[in-house]
Chains A and B, each alone.
Chain A
Amino acid sequence: MTRVLIVDDEALARERLRTLLSSELDVTIVGECSGGREAVTAIVQQRPDLVFLDIQMPDLDGFQVLEAVAMDWLPAVVFVTAYDEYAIQAFDVNAMDYILKPIEPARFKKALGRAVKRGPLDRLVIRAGGKVLFVKPGDIDWIEADGKLAQVHVGRETLAVRIPLKRLEERLEPHGFVRVHRSAIVNVDRIRELEPWFHGEYVVILKDGTKLTSSAAHSQALHRIVDTAE
């Protein structure tokens, strides 16, 4: 059973989606929201599998909603938009699907099928240069704190996000990230070698040649990695 949330600021638009969903057997509607803020709360609390999400809403737009929830729970998303220009420019279409208003039933069915198959998304939502990126945790090399921002290094790109490092650490720990320093977390996969330094500290050398010095306080986690590696 796929648990679906409907988000649109217009009642008739929600009704249309409800009607279309009512003929689907394996779908249950867990809620409807008429605004972005309401949607953030509902997604975090209900953890739906799939959200039909309007892009233009008076309080928060669809992308802001995803940005706000992505650290907790990012469901599969089908954007529902009145005008394509905005949608197509702004996001990576591989991660998200979209349908246009007025909704064509066949197109709706296709998008629903794809989204159900895809399931909830394990991605970080990062806005960079006018684009909305859906970043796979496994694609991140390392992250450094930079004042109120965190700089996320993904291949050659560095993306700034306004999320505390502590939260990023909690979110990424299950994906094999480890804190090496007060202001850096690293994808263990990207570590080429650890050079022992003084006082149980290490110099962490990444596959791309980046060198980070671990601090004593955070070396324990690295100890464990070295131990399991040996």
Chain B
Amino acid sequence: MTRTRRLWLLGLAVWIVLGLMSAAQNATWRAYTDRPIDWGSILPNSLGDWLTCGLFTPAFYWMVRHFPIRGERWWARLAVHLAGSIAFTLLKVSIWTPLFNAINPDAHRTYSQILFAGFYGDMLAYWAAVGVIHAIEYYGESRERTLEATRLALDNLRAQLQPHFLFNTLQSISTLIHRDPAAADRMLTDLSELLRLSLRSPGSKEVPLREELEFLERYLQIMRVRFGDRLVIAVHAEPNVMDVPVPSLVLQPIVENAIQHGMADRTDRGHVQVRAARDGSALRLEVFDDGPGPSATPSSNGIGLANTRERLRRLYGPDGRMDILQDKGFTVRLQIPLRS
């Protein structure tokens, strides 16, 4: 609401300044032609003229909102504004004529006299106002877009790296700093790299499997330090699939789930395996854990997996698949088509 009020006040100020400038112009001309400068007459005439235009500000806004001059068929909307500017001029003069005659009791001007004396000036006022409003709207939208992009990047970060992961990792680093500075240093570098990659713009971008596995390795390195012997993680990837493009950051959330499952409800060691292999004309990615499966922790990860399935479908259509297999553990299997 305050932004709207600011805009209205700004609008009023602009019209007053225009009125004052026009008064100054009038006075200068009179001085140049050696005529007396009667401010008592000049000011109300100039201000009155411009403020009458100002009365139409809401109408200008309405016109810009409904007929913005841009995008497809912008020229059709330009025509609407042409009609608008003429309508504005006619209406404005019909308001201004009685006001003018009230301010200048001896003048006795008619509607047509005033119309023809100021027609192009009023038309110009219309176009200037519409131009400025376009600029304001553009500015607001671009700010909104920047904010939206930042929000998306942060959402992406939060989806990839849970706050719990982040702060627990920092806690581990703060422990290691005292005992093993080199290990703390490595962990900090791994975390920084994860953050950097997660903050990259989101979307359906693909990266070679090799890069995806490098990212995953950073993440796993941190998890190995944090959970020590309680977690055994192995990654097997066939060399001939390393260059296959895969959706960026697709593996890490699934592995995170697997680690949570694999370690849930047990005090012995949890195992997680990541496998990448060629299967006919597709790349098969599997993430296996030997935990009790998702039934043990029902609420937490359904959404993450549903998002992955949706992403594969959008990228690859029916050739992109995600299956969940449950047999002595829990496997998430992704199928990604190979493209030449």
Which residues of chain A have a CB within 8 Å of any CB of chain B? 9-13, 15-16, 19, 34-35, 37-38, 56, 58-59, 82-83, 85, 100-103
- A82 pairs with B164, CB closer than 8 A: yes
Query: Which of B171, B260, B264 contacts A82, CB < 8 Å?
Result: B171
Complex partner residue of B266 from A12, A58, A83, A102, CB under 8 angstroms: A58
Binding site for A on B (CB under 8 A): 163-164, 166-168, 170-176, 178-179, 225-228, 230, 260, 263-267
The distance in angstroms between the C-alpha atoms of A52 and B163, with both chains bound, is 21
- Establish whether residues A19 and B178, one from each chain, have CB atoms under 8 Å apart when the complex forms: yes
Q: Smallest distance from the beta carbon of A214 to chain B beta carbons, Å?
A: 44
A103 to B173, CA, bound (A): 11
In angstroms, how far is the closest chain B Cβ from the Cβ of A88? 13
Bound-complex Cα distance A58 to B267 (A) = 9
Contacts of A9 in B (CB 8 A): 263
A16-B174, A35-B267, A103-B174 known; A10 and B168 CB under 8 Å? yes
User: Least Cβ distance of B169 to chain A in Å?
Assistant: 9
Q: A10-B227, A56-B164 are in contact. List 16 more A-B contacts (CB 8 A).
A: A9-B263, A10-B168, A11-B228, A16-B171, A19-B175, A34-B267, A38-B267, A58-B260, A58-B264, A82-B164, A82-B171, A83-B164, A100-B167, A102-B167, A102-B171, A103-B174
Closest B residue by C-beta to A15 = B175
A125 to B164, CA, bound (A): 25
C-alpha spacing A58/B225, complex, angstroms: 17
**Hey, which chain B residues are within 8 Å of A11, CB to CB?**
227-228
Least Cβ distance of B274 to chain A in Å?
20
Most chain A CB within a 10 A radius of its CB, from B170, B172, B178: B172
**In the complex, which residues of chain A have a beta carbon less than 8 angstroms from the beta carbon of B163?**
82-83, 85
Inside 8 A of B170's CB, which chain A residues have their CB? 101-102
Kindly state the separation between the CA atoms of A38 and B267 in the bound complex, as whole angstroms: 9
Which residues does chain B contribute within 8 Å of A37, judged by CB atoms? 267
Q: With a CB–CB cut-off of 8 A, which chain A residues contact B230?
A: 34
A103 touches B171 (CB 8 A): yes
Report chain B residues within 8 Å CB of A85.
163
Decide if A82 touches B178 in the complex (CB within 8 Å): no
- Complex interface: chain A residues within 8 A of B164 (CB): 56, 82-83
Tell me if B167 and A82 are in contact (CB < 8 A): yes
Task: Tell me whether A82 and B228 are in contact (CB under 8 A).
Answer: no
A101 and B174 CA atoms in complex are apart in Å by: 9
- Name the CB-closest residue of A to B178: A19
A181 to B227, CA, bound (A): 52
Q: What residues on B are CB-neighbors of A15 within 8 Å?
A: 175, 179
Q: A58-B260, A59-B265, A59-B266 are in contact. Are A12 and B172 (CB under 8 A)?
A: yes
